[in-house]
Each structure stands twice: as C-alpha cells, then as structure tokens.
Amino acid sequence: MRILFVQPLYPPISKPFQRIAFKLGTSPAITLQQLATITPPHHSIELINEPFQRLDFSQQYDVVAISCITPTAPRAYNIADEFRRKGNTVVLGGYHPSALPQEALSHADSVVIGEAENVWATVLRDIEQKNLQPMYYSKTPADLKTMPPLRQGVGEFALLTARIEATRGCPMRCDYCSMSNLQIHWHVYRKKPVPLVVKELQMIPQKWINFCDASLTIDIEYSKSLFKAMKSLNKRFICYANIHMVAKDEDFLNLAKEAGCTMFNIGFDSLNQASMNAVGKAVNQVNEYKTSIKKVNDHGLAVNGQFVFGFDNDTTQVFQTATQTINNLDIDSPSVNILVPYPGTALYYRLDREGRILTKEWDQYTLDKVVFQPKKMSPDDLLDGAHQVWKTLNSTSNILKRCLKAIKLGISPTLMTIGQNLYGKALY
C-alpha cells in the first residue's frame, strides 16, 4: 500500500523568520517516524512534517495516517476531511484523538487510542483485508526494548537538530499533564536498552540532539549508563529533567556534561508552593529552585525553565513579583506559559465539571491564550499578566544578560542559550 504519514504544523507560524528558526532548530515529534519504522517493508511510505514540506492533496494514498495534539487537532481534521473527500482512507491518532476518540472519528475512518505501535500492524492488515475497524485501543504499553532503531531518511526534519527517545512515560501524574491520561499508558515508565539508543544516535547525522523523553531524571542510574555510553559520540544534546532530582547527584551532572549535555529543560511550573502541591507536583520545592540551578550551572550546564500561570492558587499578585523572582533564579532561558486544560487530563475533567472551560476551539489551546475561567482572577488579567512577564523577561537587555552569563558554561551551552532565547523571542 501507499501510506502517507502527516504531522500537522505546530506551533502556528506566521512570520518568515519564524519559519527559518523552525526549520533550522526545531525538530517535530518523532511519533510518525516511529510508526514508519515498524511499518512492514512491502508498503511504500511518505512522511510530511509541516512546515518542512507542503501537503499535496492531489495525490492518492491507500492510507493517510495523521498524528495530532490538541492545538493541531483542527488542522489535522481539515487535512483528514480533505483526503477523505478524495477517497483516501484516513487514520487519526495521538494525544488528542486518544482523549476524544469519538470527536476524531467524525473526521476519520479509524482512530487509534493510545500508543500505536502495538496495533499498527493490525490496522494495516485490516485495511488490506477491507476490514478496518472504527477504533483500535492499544491495551498494553509499547515495549521499547523490542523496537527497531528509529528509521532515518524518511520525511524532512530540522537541519541542525534531531529528536530521539530513550525512555517513555512519566509516573508523576501531574493533573494538568497529557502524560497523566490514565486510559493510556503514558504514566508507565519504560526504557530502551542503552546500546539501542547509542545505535540510533550513531545513525543520526545531526550533531545536536533533542531528547523528547518526559525526563531523564526519572531513573538516574539508567541515565548515567546512557551518558557514559554517549561520551565518545561527540553529540551535543538537550533533555528534560525534574528540578527535585537534577542536582541531587554530582556524578549524574558530571556524566551529563561529559556526554555532551548543554542544557536541561526543566518544568518549574510555579513560583507558588501551594500551586505545586495542589496539582500533584509537590516534589517541586520552590525554595530549592535557586540552589539547584546554581549547582547545574556550576557543572557547565544551562537551564531552560518553564513557568506556568493560571493555577487555582494564582492571584494577580503573582505577576508583580514573577519577573524579578525568575530573574533572581538566574535561569539561562526562561519561558512562560498559560495553563491549558488538555482533554484527557484530570484538570480538564475537573474544569469541565465546574463549568470553567471557556472554549473548545482546540486551536486556542496553544499555551499563550486563556481557554478556561481562572479561579482567582479574570481571563484578561491572566492573559495580560502572563504576557507582561513574558515580554519583560524577553527584553533585549534581559536576553543579553542571560547570554553573557552563559559564556562561563562553555561554547555549546552558550550557543544553546542564545538559540533558545532568540527562538523564544522569535515566537513571541
């Protein structure tokens, strides 16, 4: 069969320089690359990552497989509708269709719920036998140990960076995180054998790697073995880490540096301890942020910190001190998001029950818009407050200070810090 995999565009890009920044440095999710990897070789495959390539709706395929998250769902549905109108069979999957399969099914011939690896061969066989079912539920978590190395050379990806996955899932179940969807298996933590990750890294031509794992501090000992094995590969990488673990182990930080780590992506999320406790992330101890960041920096590693506004404990007061507090933390590249109740999360169901979801226009669920009624402020207060913090943090003088401060971390962390700061500014 002729199969087209489609990854709809995210984030929305309107300006030409955003497109350039995206093409150079932002690699799209690897979900479809993973499915392409396990697709039996007798099928022919094309993979379109928007905006790297444009879709050609005049082409005819036996299967069009589209993966989407909540903000890309409307675009995915448009693509699905158009291909179906022309007689193509469309299969939808990903976080959003897994959370709202009935909605997705109104735009597709079939929906895959959960991780597709376990059911993909069945879906293809059923299409070949003209017996496609409306829904396929992946009952067990995909086994990373038996996965073949990620297929390269299919689709276009960023010029300078590539994504890879060493582990999957996160057991923390924070109530606002898509990984906490209990009907799926993303709360089950799994690891790829280190030699397999190394093999995949060797197959990737790009020097700069972006680990898309939820966190490389969930199993510190695993990550230490991975870092040891990566030492000779001469790669540079960025990965997610949890603030309560990242600075606990000197060896971990030393090995990360030696392996080529340049920056940790860390979800600090809130400056308000009560908010962290309320959403199930009490392990984030606000009063430890500064010492942990300093320790990471002392090992020549930069920190990209994400902050979220709009938790139920947040009042407008949080904005008055946020910029100063975040600047005082000495984070190399801070980013500011507005809380989003993604379908499938405990937060979504709670706010929906409380009648606080303001819109179900999914393309508004982009982390920079308010889509729910905050508890202790108005939606406009939340929007204006978060934008003001973001704008002040990304003033030219603040960016310059952060980039100059990063010089002491070494060349690669400095380059990563400059890149992250400029990318953040370009997207604003």
Residues near ligand SF4 (CB under 6 A): 170, 172-174, 177, 179-180, 214, 242, 267, 281
User: Least distance from C-beta 143 to ligand SF4, angstroms?
Assistant: 20
User: Least distance from C-beta 308 to ligand SF4, angstroms?
Assistant: 9
User: Least distance from C-beta 281 to ligand SF4, angstroms?
Assistant: 6
Whether residue 27 contacts residue 7, with contact meaning beta carbons closer than 8 Å, is answered with no
Place of tokens 């990903």: 94
Per-residue CA distances from 401 to 331, 332, 413 (Å):
11, 9, 15
Per-residue tokens: 297: 């920096």
Q: How many residues does the chain have?
A: 428
User: Least distance from C-beta 242 to ligand SF4, angstroms?
Assistant: 6
Q: What are phi and psi of 101, to 5 degrees?
A: -65, -35
User: Least distance from C-beta 74 to ligand SF4, angstroms?
Assistant: 24
Residue type at 372 in one-letter notation: F
User: Least distance from C-beta 183 to ligand SF4, angstroms?
Assistant: 15
Place of tokens 């007061």: 317
Per-residue tokens: 138: 């992946």
User: Least distance from C-beta 306 to ligand SF4, angstroms?
Assistant: 10
User: Least distance from C-beta 80 to ligand SF4, angstroms?
Assistant: 28
Question: In 27-117, which residue ranges form alpha helices assigned H by DSSP?
Answer: 31-38, 73-85, 95-99, 101-105
How far apart CA 395 and CA 134 sit, in angstroms, is: 50
Look up residue 79 and give its DSSP letter. H
DSSP result, 189-249: -EE--HHHHHHHHHH---SEEEE-SS-TTSSHHHHHHHHHHHGGG--EEEEEE-HHHHTT-
User: Least distance from C-beta 173 to ligand SF4, angstroms?
Assistant: 6
Q: Which is nearer to ligand SF4, 96 or 281 (CB)?
A: 281
Q: Which is nearer to ligand SF4, 74 or 343 (CB)?
A: 343
Whether residue 145 contacts residue 314, with contact meaning beta carbons closer than 8 Å, is answered with no
Q: Which is nearer to ligand SF4, 119 or 214 (CB)?
A: 214
Q: Which is nearer to ligand SF4, 5 or 10 (CB)?
A: 10
Per-residue CA distances from 284 to 179, 301, 363 (Å):
17, 20, 30
Q: Which is nearer to ligand SF4, 93 or 267 (CB)?
A: 267
Q: Which is nearer to ligand SF4, 66 or 69 (CB)?
A: 69
CB-count burial class (<10 Å; 0-12, 13-18, 19+) for 142? buried
Q: Which is nearer to ligand SF4, 36 or 174 (CB)?
A: 174
Q: Which is nearer to ligand SF4, 331 or 409 (CB)?
A: 331
Q: Which is nearer to ligand SF4, 26 or 284 (CB)?
A: 284
Residue type at 319 in one-letter notation: F
How far apart CA 201 and CA 208 sit, in angstroms, is: 10
Place of tokens 């990965």: 239
Quote the radius of gyration of the chain (alpha carbons, Å). 21
Whether residue 334 contacts residue 305, with contact meaning beta carbons closer than 8 Å, is answered with yes
User: Least distance from C-beta 240 to ligand SF4, angstroms?
Assistant: 7
Q: Which is nearer to ligand SF4, 192 or 281 (CB)?
A: 281
